Structure 1
């Protein structure tokens, strides 16, 4: 038997419809707030980097996600910016903003493997290191596969490699230090080689050697850290040996963290809206005024009056301003709605409603 709630009779079909609409809306909200892009900060899948936010929270560093290089303008020497596998190049103006950030003493971390966006950015900001782009393999020291080498040679560094004894790589390349001012932080084992012909085997022309996979160098008044494997920071790899500690050292090396996603996969729509509001003072003011207005409207009882007006609107289009509903109207309505009821019951209910209305009760 249907039950009435908030002036609406809830039968099974209506409940199922509301449940379906709610499930659909929930699905849309989830879809609008998550991403499936590789290296996506809001991608909770194995190839996303959503776990990076948790690592940043562990360090207590103030974290900002930026979708435009203008975010570098307010970053000082106490800031570190992270760029993961940019999928398009930085313009001269954008690169100039990052150079100015380095000139103020900031730290820039660029993680790249086979793409060109990272090397283009390194050249634009005056760094000498470059990522080779050829796949690194290690037949002896690896995690499950030669394409996932264990980089076991770690240079002691007070902040960047503290507590790190190795890195677990995933289809990584190597870093080519540009000059003597570049310090190698981590190297592969001596059994690693570059698969120059991409055949998955060690050939006579390929040489075993320990090669750099992470470096640091001075640039302006700041420094640039280069990592030859952006997948080191994805969700499924952060738990591998040494990776989380290394990421934590990088993200927490300064007081403020910029996660630069201005040249990688777009943020999901809902998240983009939130980030845009956070980064735009004018929008923050407008949203704040709207919230205050809604609270004021609620306090003044406007929502109650509007709800009461809606509650008085009849299914046949008549509203509170239409002619009053008579007892005869109620009898006719009840006959149509409940043909199984006896005539005496219909008239008794109609009379009771009319009596209640006459005593100042609800008029619907």
Structure 2
């Protein structure tokens, strides 16, 4: 199987345009047309991970965190990033990262935490904007159904659990073609008035090319009039963090013990326990302190994430409990998730979870 087949699948699960601007998800090292001998999955790409791939005879490493965040101007092995990249290139190993784009999908990093905690009715904590666009086009009445069907087939018109959504209004279009036209209706050099349907439908930004191709291939006019508008509407199924409900409320000590067990953590840094049952739980894999206002707005009883700074704990203001379980610990099951989704899609494919623990932090207890 070519690497492009694998990356296309991963990017259909977590599209690259879902990542944050600072991120570097996608194919970092390697060529899309290379034949894959096997995939090693890890949270981070270190020299030990590359050595493990070499030992296994696998030529693709898929990680959550990108080994390269910023531009590299030189490759001389002066730090671990350069050494990893150099070793991967020398041994024809592709490096692929699926980072904040995986953080932002409903069945991604935070979704895995929700699943492990058994949270009910989880939803995105901070939905992402600028992912939706609207298409407006005009079509003769007789061909409107065909054009709509083609647009829906290409992915337009999906709103949450509803599909084939559109708005349609009848009116009249006018045009006059010159001697070089070959119009579907009307005569050259004669003003024509045609009963038309104005169609409006939304689509995901990453599907724009497919939508336009479907429109142009199925519309009867020689010149197709259409408008595309970016939308500020937030996509409720995509974004940072999640919030859901415990099946039964717990007091703080019981919940912290439950959290420690379910997330396999040694230490939990937390704010003062509040005198109420914990029922509504907000989560974010990785560094999630930026979502504290969203957790508060969602009336969460506890917010679970990693990398809170000292002064940020005060911002809980006795309105919820912050439970900092650590960056690695909150994302440690992401590798398992990646193995599961790849194996489900490619059941006969050689894929393995790393044997190395890449957590750079150790605890003395």
- Give the structure-2-normalised TM-score: 0.22
Structure in which a larger fraction of residues adopt strand? 2
Structure in which a larger fraction of residues adopt helix? 1
- Give the structure-1-normalised TM-score: 0.22
The structure having more radius of gyration, on CA atoms, is: 1
